[in-house]
Amino acid sequence: MKFKPNQTRTYDGEGFKKRAACLCFRNEQEDEVLLVSSSRHPDQWIVPGGGMEPEEEPCGAAVREVYEEAGVKGKLGRLLGVFEQNQDRKHRTYVYVLTVTETLEAWEDSVNIGRKREWFTVEEAIKVLQCHKPVHAEYLKRLRLACSPTNGNALVPSRPDDNRSLYVTTQGPALPPSRR
């Protein structure tokens, strides 16, 4: 199990734990995503991410978490959305897209806790995540929906024109995304 003795949990003004994560893709086609084994349940897969440190920006936290948990570096892309989880613990997670450019042989969590990583197609990843971490599956569903040619969008802009973040709330079954 992962243990960080000096970790300070940070919360926003509404009492949500501030988190950041990245959907790490093998290339810009975004058809293969990297998942890591859970520190609590090593036989289950998750999207790399974790808590933000005080004074840390969401994009910096996302890149740091991916480096620690997955042992990869890359080109940080767009903010996919801000996902809220209200079930057992209140989390607000900033989820970015990252194209992997470097993969380390050994990295912090592989050495310290034996964490593994594996590439999955987006469809496989959604299935794998749906049981253990349904909110993580929602990240990929949002990606697929946002880039679907049927909705008229080829790409999602890096920053929304109105500078508002896209929030997706999960409370059991997935709810449709809403803008705040």
Q: Which residues are known to be catalytic?
A: 68
Q: What is the 3-state secondary structure (H, E, C) of the chain?
A: CCCCCCCCCCECCCCCEEEEEEEEECCCCCCEEEEEECCCCCCCEECCEEECCCCCCHHHHHHHHHHHHHCEEEEEEEEEEEEEECCCCCEEEEEEEEEEEEECCCCHHHHHHCCCEEEEEHHHHHHHHHHHCHHHHHHHHHHHHHCCHHHCCCCCCCCCCCCCCEEEEECCCECCCEEC
